[in-house]
Amino acid sequence: MAAHPRLICASADLAEGGPGVRFDIEHSGEAVPAFAVRFRGRVHAYVNRCQHVGIELDWLPGQFFDDSRLYLICATHGATYRPDTGECAGGPCRGGKLTRLPVSEREGAVFLEWKADD
């Protein structure tokens, strides 16, 4: 299947260090939860699966940043991740890394640049 951009949201929906936008990707015929956030001006997107137990990071939908707004945090046991790379920054993720998804931003909109079943 050819890669084709898919609209995630309007650029204005992602404020710096603010709430993320949740969306799904399709993988092996299943819907997999994912999310996008804005950090230092750029949009970053990841599969919404903590590297500790494998559950979604946000307890309150869209709340991915910690209080400092410098890290993404898993609400369940407090694993923290770097928003720009997805690398574990502390807590029980222990060297794990969020699965990064390619995104682009143009003309006021954010797009997923990922094909199903990559």
Contact residues toward ligand FES (CB under 6 A) are 50, 52-53, 55, 74, 76-79, 91-92
By C-beta, is 5 or 90 nearer to ligand FES?
90
By C-beta, is 58 or 110 nearer to ligand FES?
58
Residue 98 near residue 81 (C-beta atoms within 8 A): yes
Q: Give the C-alpha separation, 107 to 81, whole Å.
A: 29
Bridging pattern class, strands 21-27 and 88-90: unpaired
**Residues in contact with 93: Cβ distance below 8 Å, sequence separation at least 6, in sequence order:** 50, 51, 52, 74, 79, 80, 81
Angle ∠(43,49,50) on CA atoms, nearest 5: 100
CB of 3 to ligand FES, least distance (A): 30
CB of 93 to ligand FES, least distance (A): 6
CB of 72 to ligand FES, least distance (A): 11
By C-beta, is 32 or 109 nearer to ligand FES?
32
CB of 101 to ligand FES, least distance (A): 19
